[in-house]
Structure 1
Amino acid sequence: MTFDRSLKIAPSILSADFANFGAEIRAVEAEGADWIHVDVMDGHFVPNLTFGPPMCAAIRPHIKTVMDVHLMIAPVDPYIDAFAAAGADILTAHLEAGPHVHRTLQAIRGAGCKAGLALNPGTGIGDIEHLLDMVDLICVMTVNPGFGGQKFIHSQIEKVRRLRQMIGDRPIHIEIDGGITPETAPLMTQAGADVLVAGSAVFKGGSVSNPAPYGDNIRAIKAACATMA
């Protein structure tokens, strides 16, 4: 992965047809998705249960872009090697998931993946200052993690603005996860984000047999951001 700050849309397969993941991924990539976002939830750290390493390994051959795996699990460290072996390009762990996040980030990079760090809406950015040289991506949750389709939390805009200043010229992506629509996306790109995770906002109105709406939805988000740039 070559670093660049151009706007990237990362559709969350949590909003895709679970019975047809391979075809959904191929369709949404063909319609302009930049990354594919995989939400891993354990029913413990967050109140939902989704996918594990075998599913990630199964969909990996269908992903031609970037496999962006968001680990909403605790503990994280015992599962890093399995998700890396399943083909993740980026592994993102939550700051709140354990007491030794520096070790976790080391392990992710040691497994050959880009290291991401996610922050819940109630978490400040002070604790990540000494981790900036360990991360390739910071994911700011703009909903409380655990479910798709939640309402965007506007207080996170200022967090992203401050985070962007803290990062400076370091090659670190700022990813936004939760409530992204053509209305909220420009607020985040203006604040400094460059990766937008979108679930229902991308997949609504389309299907494997009718994928054109996926492209229309992706272009609508990007156009809204370009208009406000």
Structure 2
Amino acid sequence: MNKLLCPSMMCANYGHLADEVRALDDAGCDIFHCDIMDGTFVPNFTMGVMDIQTIRRYTDKLVDCHLMIENPSSKVDWFIKAGADIVYIHPESERYVVKTLAHIKEMGAKAGIAVNPDTSVSSISEILNLCDYVLVMTVNPGFAGQSFIDFTRKKVKQLVELKQEYGFKVMIDGHCSPEVIDDLSALGADGFILGSSALFRKGKTYKQIIDDLRKENEDVK
């Protein structure tokens, strides 16, 4: 089974966003990954509701929103109504995590938890039954182009074992180079967020890169 390949839209060319979405869609990507940052939970600002609406307008593929914001419960409706199919929250940012995950599902979207490098699997074990996706951060959240944090492999292994019981998909976000994709695919990760390490500004077309990543994945199997 092919792994889910998900372009990180914070790395796209915003001068030609509609063209970028069409090209990535035609290239065969699976999920458009949208990072929402408020400058408080993480020290950066990125995408907003209008960006999600634009991406939704030009693709029928799944769109996810990774909410790196304080008190996401007050904002999840904005992004679901804008077209998000999957919404990730960070447990550290929300007082009532279970209530917020349940609300995301009640709104008709898939619910996800994002797990920072310094967040333990044991600390989220009680809420995994509400998660459709678990996003493992293999870098510290907030900026593209960071180095892979090696000890997060252990967390990936733990979550891959747990997904058999709970049914969620394990997604990887952070320095997803072709080598990291090969490595963590072999461990059982389901999908990868593709940024500057694998997809953007690489001198090839998006289709060439996506096709290469698919082929490499098949070769590993």
The TM tier, using the shorter chain, reads: over 0.9
Q: How far does residue 218 in structure 1 lie from its aligned partner after superposition?
A: 1.6
Contact 2:163–2:170 under 8 Å retained in 1: no
Number of residue pairs the alignment of both structures matches = 220
Q: Which moved more, 1:54-63 or 1:121-130?
A: 54-63
SS of 1:174's partner is: strand
Which residue of structure 2 aligns with residue 154 of structure 1? 150
CA deviation after TM superposition for structure 1 residue 37, in Å: 0.6
Aligned residue number for residue 224 of structure 1 = 216
Q: Which runs of 5+ in 2 are unaligned?
A: none
Equivalent position of 1:177 in the other structure: 173
Distance 2:155 2:217 in 1: 19
Q: Which runs of 5+ in 1 are unaligned?
A: 207-211
8 Å Cα contact 1:39-1:69 kept in structure 2 = yes
Structure 2 residue aligned with 1:109: 105
* 2:163–2:169 CA contact under 8 A, matched in 1: no
> Deviation of residue 169 (structure 1)?
4.4
TM-score normalised by the chain length of structure 2: 0.94
Distance (Å, rounded) in 2 between the aligned partners of 1:220 and 1:99: 42
Q: Does 1:98 align with 2:130?
A: no
Alignment-mate amino acid for residue 205 of structure 1: K
Residues 94 and 119, structure 1, Cα contact 8 Å, conserved in 2: yes
Superposition RMSD in Å:
1.4
Q: What are the Cα deviations for residues 84-131 of structure 1, in whole angstroms up to 9, with x where unaligned?
A: 100100001112212321111012112211001000011110022221
> Corresponding residue for 2:37?
41
Q: Among all aligned residue pairs of Structure 1 and Structure 2, give the percentage whose two residues are the same amino acid.
A: 36
Deviating more after overlay: 195-204 vs 51-60: 51-60
Match of 2:201 in 1: 204
User: C-alpha displacement at 1:227, in angstroms?
Assistant: 2.3
Post-superposition shift, 1:58? Answer: 2.4
Match of 1:139? 135
Matched-pair contact (CA < 8 Å) for 1:95–1:118? yes
Could you say which residue in structure 1 is the equivalent of 2:70?
74
Which of structure 1's runs of 4+ aligned residues deviate more than 4 A? none
TM-score by length of 1: 0.91
Paired position in structure 2 for 1:209:
none
